[in-house]
Chain A
Amino acid sequence: MMTVEKVLFRSVAEHAAALAAGEYTAVRLTRAYLERIQERNGEINAYLYVDGAGALAAAEESDVRRLRGECRGVLDGIPYALKDNFAAKGLPMTCGSKILGGYVSPYDATVVARLKASGAILLGKNNMDEFAMGSSGEYSAYGVTKNPYDRTRVVGGSSSGSAATVADGMAAFALGSDTGGSVRQPAAFCGVYGLKPTYGVLSRYGLASMASSLDCVGILARTAEDCGLLLDVLAGQDAHDATSVVYAPKSVQALDHVLRLGVISFDGVGGIDEEIKAASARAVERLTACGAVAETVELPLPDEALAAYTVLSSTEAASNLARYDGVRYGRRSARSETLSALYENSRGEGLGAEVKRRILFGTDMLVRGNREVYYLRALRVREAVRRQMEALSERYDVLISPAAPTAAFGLGSTPSPDALYCADMCTVYANLAGVPALSVPFGVNAAGLPLAVQLTARRCGENLLLAAARLLCDGEVK
């Protein structure tokens, strides 16, 4: 007989089959996850808020629907977690920041509403780097999230709690957000799948904006199949998000032709661990053994692309975060005598150091003179990158690279500048070009820490990504 702990690590598809077969009820499953959270969260700090009563009530409704033959589909009765920068009606929403302390969302984000309509059960809100700025899980105002594989190491970020939640069996799946790798990098550090879909495929309505032209809703799950199932439910145009696009759900399908694989070269780029290089090489070998044709490719404009990402993400963040002024949302400074002082003190007291740094840099990049030299040129670089990535996707179905240059690093330690540079190089291209990318867990290093590769495809090519991921992990020859 399967232990409760093993059940908690089942995939969404496995849970759906078990619920349909009557192996357990949604209430029993939800209660098991809540017990796991109670047991583990004190150590990992993956959840900022747990809605136990709401989750159990939703689970009871799911069980009643199933008994009546009114099951809403594959997600009905499946418990999940939500990064704390998504709006969920009646629940706190802090974005990992003190400035939103006490704020309760009055509405549901579109993706939350779609999950609710599909019968999925929200367990609670996950910890995150403040306003999605950070890549270690150490920049939350509510404490560090620790890596379930090794509590002395970071979990990655900014979707830190979401990745740890899935990796540690505290939910069946989680939603995060990805502006420059914030779903894929923590997924890589935690040995789970992290999907950043095509820009616009998942509605951003109800997701707190960091850099609107780069932000994407992302999926963290245990299998590629789960990522596909969730994409099918969540994707679709939304009148509340003018950048949302039509996307035809396709789930995971087998490839109907020989996979054309572009292997991204990192020759001359320092900072990549030998174990990561070896894992990437093994992944290429496995895919070619399955019939893929591989060629080495260069990333376009590497230095300029990183500069463009730095400038665009900071300028957009500076603009988006102007709304947190102590008047309309959350925390207000108690020591201000004028309106101007109220704004400045509320923001000074409520925002963390990393957020202030990016706001100030973004502000500087937009002042007269700098705007022409940096911001407008960054837009041109992004357009050039987009076109060159599009040209690459005409020649290759999937590009493969490391998802991160190192495995999870130690808490409180800073990776080398080379490693930081390379970490950005691995992930920001997909955001600049608006194309989908998937972090695929692929083995562990000598210390037992997860390693991962990243697959990137053309716009709306999620199906290719998921099929290639299945090929990679199952070694299936189709």
Chain B
Amino acid sequence: MSDRPHPFLIVVAGLVYLFLMLPLVIVVGAALSDTTYLTFPPQGLSLRWFENIFEISAFRRTIVTSLQIAFLGTMIALLIGIPAAYALNRFRIELPKWLGTLFVLPILVPEIVFGFALLKSFTVGTGAPIFLSLLIGHTLIVLPYVVRVISASLASFDFSVEEAAISLGSAPVKTFFTIVLPNIRAGVIAAFILAFITSLNDVSVSLFLTGPGISTLPIQILAHVEQFFDPTVASVSVLLMFLTVAVMAVVERTLGLTFLAK
């Protein structure tokens, strides 16, 4: 083994990075174009398509809706997913194996089928408001990620630590908050980010559940592209990218991102 990587390895790594980065460069370039149509390389430099996002009320509204749905859906999924993951790990021997698999089902079923089923059975069946249907749909599609990520975190947690705390006089529920939760904090944050981003990006399920007056950002982007071919879509994408980077930067500063790679 030599200290310097093989030149071939450097070339391959470079190509992979290029492959990953190029679409982003093109989107950013297209977003900055002064033209009224999507083009790359950009012709002229302008931020007017970024202003345009906020001038179109549908974008303003759907950004807010998307953020609300993503945040609320993720929080509900955490409220259900943390206790579920805890129980699945704590009582791994006592509980039947299929119970854990149950929580993965929503991502095993094709999302488009899942969305359609939810529309037929819930929205049409009960006449529930659109926002509520969207919220429930998103909660269900992010729940598997939450349970999985937090389970991974709990798998390396030694439950005798919990028993030690209980034996020292700490009541079980209190022990969960003072001992278990602080030790799976990284997993909870990772689950939050993953769920939030998954919800924010979802198209298939939202496609069925959005309705008159209420839509999510990805659906609005689709609708916009169907009618217009201006760079607004590119600038919305850039905005989303920067939002994601900002979230990651905050997490990196406060916690470090290494836990995501675990």
A binds B: no
Interface positions of B (Cβ within 8 A of A): none
Interface positions of A (Cβ within 8 A of B): none
